[in-house]
Structure 1
Amino acid sequence: MQKRTFTDQMGRLISFSYPPQRIISLVPSQTELLFDLGLDTEIIGITKFCIHPREKFKRSTKIGGTKMLDLRKIRELMPDLIIGNKEENDRAQIEELMKEFPVWMSDIQVLPEAIDMIRQIGELTGRLEKAAVIADDVNEQFLKLEKIHKPYRTAYFIWKDPYMLAGKQTFIDDILSRGGFENAISEDRYPEISADQLKNLNPECIFLSSEPYPFKDEHVKEIKSICQDARVSIVDGEMFSWYGSRLLLSPAYLRSLR
């Protein structure tokens, strides 16, 4: 096996024996991508949130949560490549792992960066051809998504107590825009909002995401009592925030929401 050097999406150089034989994935959407690339035997550890594909989740070794990794377990597994994400993983833990292992990090806020990540992960795992097919298909599906003359003003909830919404400078915001939904929130990242502030925003649509907070039907009624004229619904959060091969399903889902 030869040693090769790659640049991750944070501009860091990492070197490891190529192709990697012992991979740990720290992010659900990227874990699903790795399995879809046919790396079943190479994946030796995933997080407890890496639920897709279901049958492979059940039989894979778990190494904690995305922001609470079990560093001892990771060390015991002796990976030759760890794949994480700037936003989803804890910086201090990632920096600790970087001292001991090659750690490739993604940094994604818009769809083109997600498509680039798919290609790059294909290259660094020796599955470039399969990854290129997925990346091209994702790009084509989004290009076919029809434009809407007047996008729906939409508030996208990710949390309750306090209410937190997806704002600008997020991947969710980019997917909303591509789906024909204008983000009603002008602040960056994930601002908190009060019931009065939500009422003053007067959005046409309110999406309650299925993750990370598990919104239910009773929450639809709660929000509807605040914004009586808005269309309030629970949406599949994976279709807005998973930036791996699950993006193949997102355009059709966005079309159905319209």
Structure 2
Amino acid sequence: MSKNLIQFLLLVSLALSSSCSAVKVEYDANAIIIDGQRKIMNVASIHYPRSTEQYDFSGNLELHKVFQLVHEAGLYGIIRIGPYVCAEWNYGQKEMETFTTKIVNKVKVAKLCAPQGGPIIVAQIENEYGNIVKGYGAAGKKYIEWCAKMAVAQNISVPPMINTCNGFYCDNFKPNNPKSPKMWTENWTVWFKLWGSKDPHRTAEDIAFAVARFFQMGGVLDTYYMYHGGTKLGCTSDGLYITTSYDYDAPLDEFGI
């Protein structure tokens, strides 16, 4: 039986009990393998910076409280370590290596990864770069190679993933490596909101059918994007003409209800 996951954008440290047992995480084309047990995954996305009033890692805003709940609930976690995470968020590119390294080091020191006894089983590298890589020619390929080397150099102890699908439907997606699992890292429950436009909606029946078809066609990991979208009210907008709300018709709305 598969476990659900919570995916976080930009993770930092948490402290786990020394009684947590370490597990080995592997994969093949048909499953995520945790201590020899083959699993398919349903994932719920949450963006920490959109779920707090301040982007702050101190005091009661430390993410260890979140990960304690994740671990206590028997869930696994995925982190998106960059250098670019998209999610209608600024920044990225090579200049983010220092920040990425800092975040990963915090994760390792806090023993958050599954081989250390923590809940994190996968680290996602970059996001949707495959949509534009050809437009940059040799430079685009060089950047992807740099991302891969940077990720390996982090020595994070859990499998990295980069070749994934984002969209409303991913049943026909195939990884570029036949030995890699078919992973849907953003199953768009709807879309972000634009000023002057109607609120987007997607029926639950359409989402359910898309997920069933994805797993029927060999899918291994499906991520509901978003499970809690939150907001950046009082901070910055998400892009040109995009509202600060990131509600996404999520089960938990931007107010946490």
Under a length normalisation based on structure 2, what TM-score does the superposition of the two structures give?
A: 0.29
Higher relative contact order (CA 8 A, sep 6+): 2
- Give the structure with the higher percent helix: 1
Structure possessing the higher radius of gyration over alpha carbons: 1
